[in-house]
Amino acid sequence: METKEFSFRGVTLNGFVMLFFNLLLTIAGITAIVMFIGYGDWRLIVAGPLMLILSFFIWPGFIMLEPNEARVLTFFGKYRGTFTKTGYYWINPFMSTKKLSLRARNLDAQPIKVNDKIGNPIMIGLVLVWKLKDTYKAMFEIDAQTMAQSNVKPDQISAGVSGIMKALEQFVQVQSDAALRQVAGQYAYDDTDDRNNELTLRGGGEEINQQLENKLNERLALAGIEVVEARINYLAYAPEIAAVMLRRQQAAAIITAREKIVEGAVSMVKMALDKLSAEEVVELDDEKKAAMVSNLMVVLCGDDAAQPVVNAGTLNH
Note the pLDDT tens digit of each residue in 188-230: 887 665 556 678 888 888 899 999 999 999 999 989 999 999 9
pLDDT at 245: 65
pLDDT at 267: 80
Q: Domain with 200 in it: what CATH number?
A: 3.30.479.30
The domain boundary, picked from 39, 71, 98, lies at 98
Indicate if 144 and 233 belong to the same structural domain.
yes
Largest CA distance in the chain: 146
Q: pLDDT digit string (tens) for 63-77?
A: 999 999 999 999 998
Indicate if 174 and 110 belong to the same structural domain.
yes
Indicate if 128 and 221 belong to the same structural domain.
yes
Asked if pLDDT for residue 311 goes beyond 60, the answer is: no
Q: Can you give the pTM of this predicted structure?
A: 0.69
Indicate if 117 and 213 belong to the same structural domain.
yes
Residue 110: pLDDT band with limits 50, 70, 90: confident
Q: What is the mean pLDDT of residues 24-34?
A: 86
- Rounded to 5 degrees, φ, ψ at 62 are -85, 130
Q: pLDDT digit string (tens) for 165-184?
A: 888 888 999 999 999 999 98
Asked if pLDDT for residue 152 goes beyond 70, the answer is: no
Question: Within a domain: residue 294?
Answer: yes
Residue 317: pLDDT band with limits 50, 70, 90: very low
Question: Within a domain: residue 6?
Answer: no
Residue 159: pLDDT band with limits 50, 70, 90: very low
Q: What is the mean pLDDT of residues 252-266?
A: 75
Indicate if 231 and 250 belong to the same structural domain.
no
**Of 209, 190, 207, nearest in space to 125 by CA:** 209
pLDDT at 177: 92
Domain region containing 277: 244-301
Indicate if 69 and 154 belong to the same structural domain.
no
Indicate if 93 and 37 belong to the same structural domain.
yes
pLDDT at 154: 42
The residues with which 108 forms a beta bridge, in sequence order, are 127
CA atoms of 11 and 92, how far apart (whole Å): 7
Question: Within a domain: residue 165?
Answer: yes
Question: Within a domain: residue 42?
Answer: yes
Question: Within a domain: residue 39?
Answer: yes
Other C-beta atoms lying within 10 Å of the C-beta of residue 32? 20
Asked if pLDDT for residue 153 goes beyond 70, the answer is: no
Indicate if 232 and 249 belong to the same structural domain.
no
Question: Within a domain: residue 308?
Answer: no
Indicate if 128 and 87 belong to the same structural domain.
no
Task: Give percent of the chain with pLDDT exceeding 70.
Answer: 76
pLDDT at 277: 72
pLDDT at 179: 92
Question: Within a domain: residue 46?
Answer: yes
pLDDT at 146: 65
Indicate if 68 and 129 belong to the same structural domain.
no
Q: Where are the alpha helices (DSSP H) in the chain?
A: 15-39, 42-58, 135-140, 144-151, 161-184, 201-204, 206-220, 239-278, 286-301
Residue 150: pLDDT band with limits 50, 70, 90: low
Indicate if 203 and 255 belong to the same structural domain.
no
Q: pLDDT digit string (tens) for 112-131?
A: 999 888 888 889 999 999 99
CA 183 to chain centre: 14
Q: Are 65 and 135 in contact (CB under 8 A)?
A: no
Number of structural domains the chain divides into = 3
Considering the chain, what is the average pLDDT of its residues? Answer: 81
CA atoms of 201 and 185, how far apart (whole Å): 10
Indicate if 213 and 125 belong to the same structural domain.
yes
The domain boundary, picked from 210, 237, 264, lies at 237
